[in-house]
Amino acid sequence: MTATGTPAEAPAGAPVRRPVLQVVLRAPRPVRVLVFGVFVSRLGSFFATFATLFLTDRGFTPRTVAPVLVGVGLAGMLGSLGGGWMADRVGHRPTLVLSMGASSVAVAMLVVADRPATLVAAVCLVAFWTSAYPPAAAALLVDNSDPVDRVPIFAFFRLALNVGAALGPLLAGVLASRSYTLLFAVEAVAYAACALIILRGLPAGRGAVAVAVAGAAGDTGGDTGGGTADTVAGDTPGGTADEAGGGAPAGASHTRVWVLCGLLFGVAALYAQFQSTLPLQLVSHGFTVTFYGALLALNGFLVITAELPISGVTRRWPWALPLAGGVAVMATGLVLAASGTAASLVIVAFTLFTVGEMIFAPVSNAAVAELSPAGTAARYQGLLATAQTLGFSLGPALGVAVYAVSSAGLWVGVAVTAGALCTGFLVIWRLWR
Domain boundaries, the chain: 20-201, 247-432
Using the predicted structure, report yes or no on whether residue 420 has a pLDDT greater than 80.
Answer: yes
Which alpha helices (H) appear in 202-237, and where do they start and end? 219-221
- In this prediction, residue 233 carries a pLDDT of 40
Distance in angstroms (rounded) separating the CA atoms of residues 224 and 149: 11
Q: What is the pLDDT of residues 159-190, one digit of tens each?
A: 988 888 888 777 777 777 777 788 888 889 99
- In this prediction, residue 47 carries a pLDDT of 75
What percentage of residues in the chain have a pLDDT greater than 90?
A: 31
**Lowest pLDDT segment from 62-71, 94-103, 412-421:** 62-71
Distance in angstroms (rounded) separating the CA atoms of residues 60 and 117: 11
Q: Is the distance from CB of 425 to CB of 322 less than 8 angstroms?
A: no
Distance in angstroms (rounded) separating the CA atoms of residues 225 and 27: 5
Which residues, 6+ apart, have CB-to-CB distance to 257 below 8 Å?
Answer: 368, 371, 372, 373, 376, 380, 383
Phi and psi, residue 254, nearest 5°: -75, -20
Please count the helices (runs of H) and the strands (runs of E) in the chain. 17, 0
- Mean pLDDT along residues 353-361: 95
Distance in angstroms (rounded) separating the CA atoms of residues 120 and 130: 16
Burial class (CB in 10 A: 0-12, 13-18, 19+), 249: exposed
**Lowest pLDDT segment from 118-122, 126-130, 317-321, 429-433:** 429-433
Distance in angstroms (rounded) separating the CA atoms of residues 386 and 368: 13
Other beta carbons within 10 angstroms of residue 286's beta carbon come to: 9
Higher pLDDT among residues 183 and 354, named by residue: 354
- In this prediction, residue 249 carries a pLDDT of 52
**Lowest pLDDT segment from 14-18, 55-59, 234-238:** 234-238
| CA 177 vs CA 44, 126, 184: distances in Å | 15, 22, 12
* Residues listed for the chain: 433
Distance in angstroms (rounded) separating the CA atoms of residues 102 and 133: 11
Higher pLDDT among residues 250 and 195, named by residue: 195
Give the fold, CATH level 3, of 247-432: Growth Hormone; Chain: A; (1.20.1250)
- In this prediction, residue 94 carries a pLDDT of 92
Same topology between domain 20-201 and domain 247-432: yes
The alpha carbons of the chain give a radius of gyration, in whole angstroms, of 22
CATH number given to 20-201: 1.20.1250.20
Other beta carbons within 10 angstroms of residue 9's beta carbon come to: 9
Residue 14's pLDDT band, with cuts at 50, 70 and 90, is low
- Mean pLDDT along residues 49-68: 77
Using the predicted structure, report yes or no on whether residue 232 has a pLDDT greater than 50.
Answer: no
Average pLDDT taken over every residue of the chain: 81
- Side-chain-side CA neighbours of 378 within 13 Å: the count stands at 35
- Mean pLDDT along residues 151-165: 88
- In this prediction, residue 15 carries a pLDDT of 60
Could you tell me which residues are beta bridge partners of residue 373?
248
Using the predicted structure, report yes or no on whether residue 417 has a pLDDT greater than 90.
Answer: yes
Using the predicted structure, report yes or no on whether residue 4 has a pLDDT greater than 80.
Answer: no
- In this prediction, residue 292 carries a pLDDT of 87
